[in-house]
Amino acid sequence: MAIERRCFAVDLHNDAEMIAAYRRWHEPGGPPAAVTKAIRADGVISLQIWQIADRMFMIMEQDSERAPDPEIKKQRDAANPEVAEWDRMMAAFQKPLSSFPDQTWVEMEHIYDLRDQP
């Protein structure tokens, strides 16, 4: 198994009530079981979302040997009514980062590792 860590960012609409609702949706048992099952089926071993104000940061560890091609994943998620509905609901809370106006959950580039430093 080859574990790969991937990190993503997205912003939420800067509205305290919307942010609180988004957080409630992500409490244990909040996401539908079909969503959790779909995430795990993609080889995701660990997934955490962190927040500061309206910025969200996701850290995901995934078995890269089980990770689907992004286009296949997109098609599979769209064909799953519960996953598609979850994505639609969450999109109402999210707003794209200014540099990526047509995309949410933008993958970040790894640029530093303390282990690489002398």
Could you say which of 2, 3, 5, 13 is catalytic?
13
Give Cα 16 to chain centroid, integer Å. Answer: 21
81: phi then psi, degrees, rounded to nearest 5: -60, -40
Whether the Cβ atoms of residue 96 and residue 103 lie closer than 8 Å to each other: yes
Question: H-type helices in 1-116, by residue range?
Answer: 16-25, 33-41, 70-79, 81-91
Burial class of residue 18 in the structure, from the number of CB atoms within 10 Å of its CB (0-12 exposed, 13-18 middle, 19+ buried): middle
Known catalytic membership, residue 26: no
Which residues are known catalytic residues? Answer: 13
